[in-house]
Amino acid sequence: MEQGRILAVCISERKGERKKAIDRGLLIENFGLQGDAHAGDWHRQISLLGDESVDKMRAAGLDVGAGDFAENLTIVGINLPALPIGTHLQVGSVALLEVTQIGKECHQHCAIYHQVGDCVMPREGIFARVLRGGLVSKDDAVIVVESGV
């Protein structure tokens, strides 16, 4: 069973901006992360990005960290882009996510793309819907509990 952990929980009040790290957040069933602009009744309720992906941008010379790619959860220890659609992830002790999308099309390039001509989120970020809500915090375990269907 593949397992990682949360490095940061991040939110933003508006879409299209970097997110700021918070101590802990509440994942709400069929909605997303409380207080985040991307939460709602759709298939991309929450976004996740691996710190390994962020490291690629650091290696390109960028001073970036958690939330800079507009991800809600920065994760370490799981190869997120390799997870099949439909994979279930237990986050913390209660919350359960279902992977709904790998990567995304960027309609308007972000500030990071304009700085270095590349961004990892469109290729390596993943999106999920919240099947079961719960409180999540930095250092909580993230466990792959079921392969894609």
- Going by the DSSP 8-state scheme, the letter that residue 85 receives in this structure is T
- According to DSSP, residue 127 is labeled E
Q: What is the pTM of this model?
A: 0.85
What stretch of H or E contains 51?
Answer: helix 51-59
Q: How far apart are CA 23 and CA 10, in angstroms?
A: 9
The pLDDT tens digits of the residues spanning 2-47 come to 899 999 999 999 877 778 999 999 999 999 999 999 999 999 999 9
| Mean pLDDT value across the chain | 84
Reported as a pLDDT band with limits 50, 70 and 90, residue 112 is very low
Give the residue extent of every domain in the chain.
Answer: 3-146
Helix, strand, coil % over all residues of the chain, rounded to 5: 15, 40, 45
Mention every residue, 6+ apart, whose C-beta is less than 8 A from residue 86: 98, 99, 146, 147, 148, 149
Say if domain 3-146 classifies as CATH 2.40.33.20.
yes
